[in-house]
Structures are given as structure tokens and as C-alpha cells.
Amino acid sequence: MKVILFDIDTDKKNYNTEEKIINLWYNIKYNNLGLNPVKTLTNNREVCYMKRESEGIVIETSESVAKVRASRHGDCKSCGACPGDNAIVVDAKNPVGAKPGQHVVFEIKDANMLWAAFIVYILPIIGIFIGALTGTWIGGKLGHSLREFQIGGGVVFFILSLIYIKIFDRSTSKNENTKPVITKILY
């Protein structure tokens, strides 16, 4: 899944004013959110995908993967208002050869984050809804209390969605295309 922000024919020498305004608007909007537009060439078309950049410190390396310690978001970097450690550890591809102790920039595709957020937050809600509808149907067929079957169906489908999330998490962590990538070494 890829987020296409704009699609411009690369054979054109001069873009019209509307295309320039759209490009400028996307660059301002997404760069202010900490997103980095990345352009790729596909079938003679220039397509822009969004990637989120974050900074972190490499704490461990093994082969082509590095463990990077990063704060949850940019606002947490030096605030200190939250108790405890607010950092997360991310396994990232290491094509630049970063070593432990180095500060690096890594990027995560936004499409991956959107899909994962949908699976984690929306799928259980959909599961509860479908479970309640299924419970209503089964309770109606059996002639029992609908409320009990609705609650039971919602709970069963919620648990099934949690099992699916666990399976999705394991498959995603093994998939090389979903891993963050270290793009540069800061110092």
C-alpha cells in the first residue's frame, strides 16, 4: 500500500500553475508534520510517497539490522515532564553501516503506519460490531435472549481480532519491507 500525493507526467517540461501550487502545498503541509516526500519514477510518471523521519541512537548492530533507541515523538525529546523513559527501541535496516553510539536518522513509510493503525485500532471495533450482529442473528434463530448473544458474540469476535493482531504483528516484524530504514548518520 502506498500513499500517492501527486502524480506528474515527467515528460512535461513546464508544469502549469495548478500543479505548482499543489506541489508547494503538499511540500509545506507534510514537511511541517515531519514527513519527507520521496519521489520515485514509475512508468514514466513521477509519484511522491510519504515517509516519516525520526532520529535515534544506535544501541546495537547485527549484520544488516540495527537496534535504534528513539523518543516516541519529537515533542518528547527534551521535555522531561513524563516520568520514566519514553523511548522505544526499533529494529531498522542498516544500509549506511551505523555503529553503536551513533546518532542516526531513520524513516518509516507512512503507508505501513496507516495500515498498522487500522489493524490495531479499527479492526477490534469492527470485530465487536460483527460479533454483536452475529449474536443477534444466532439468538434470534435459537429464540434466546438477544442481549446475552450480542455480548457473547462481541466478546468472541473481539478476542478473534486480538488473535489476528498478534499474528499480523509477528508477520509484520518478519517482513523486510515494513522495517524502518536508517538513511544517514548524523554524528
**129-185, pLDDT tens digit by residue?**
999 999 999 999 998 888 999 999 999 999 999 999 999 888 877 777 778 888 888
| pLDDT tier, 19 (very low <50, low <70, confident <90, very high otherwise) | low
Q: Are residues 152 and 138 in the same domain?
A: yes
Question: Structural domain tally of the chain?
Answer: 2
**44-62, pLDDT tens digit by residue?**
454 455 567 778 888 988 8
Burial of 5 (0-12, 13-18, 19+ CB in 10 A): buried
Average pLDDT over residues 65-78: 69
pLDDT at 21: 54
CA distance 41 to 12: 14
Whole-number mean pLDDT of the chain? 74
What SS3 class is residue 16? coil
pLDDT at 126: 96
Q: Are residues 102 and 58 in the same domain?
A: yes
Does a structural domain hold residue 117?
yes
pLDDT at 31: 52
CATH number at residue 82: 2.30.30
Q: Are residues 119 and 169 in the same domain?
A: yes
Most confident of 13-22, 63-72, 130-139: 130-139
Q: Are residues 146 and 122 in the same domain?
A: yes
Q: Are residues 165 and 119 in the same domain?
A: yes
pLDDT at 184: 85
Q: Are residues 102 and 64 in the same domain?
A: yes
pLDDT at 151: 94
CA distance 129 to 108: 32
Determine phi and psi for 5, rounding to 5 degrees.
-90, -45
Does a structural domain hold residue 22?
no
Does a structural domain hold residue 158?
yes
Does a structural domain hold residue 95?
yes
Does a structural domain hold residue 93?
yes
Residue 82 has pLDDT above 80, yes or no: no
* Residues of the chain above pLDDT 90, percent: 23
Collect all residues with Cβ–Cβ distance below 8 Å to 183 and sequence separation of at least 6.
53, 96, 104, 105, 106, 107
pLDDT at 159: 96
Does a structural domain hold residue 24?
no
Supply the range of the domain harboring residue 90.
53-109+179-185
Does a structural domain hold residue 125?
yes
Does a structural domain hold residue 26?
no
| pLDDT tier, 8 (very low <50, low <70, confident <90, very high otherwise) | very low
| pLDDT tier, 1 (very low <50, low <70, confident <90, very high otherwise) | very low
Q: Are residues 98 and 139 in the same domain?
A: no
pLDDT at 24: 55
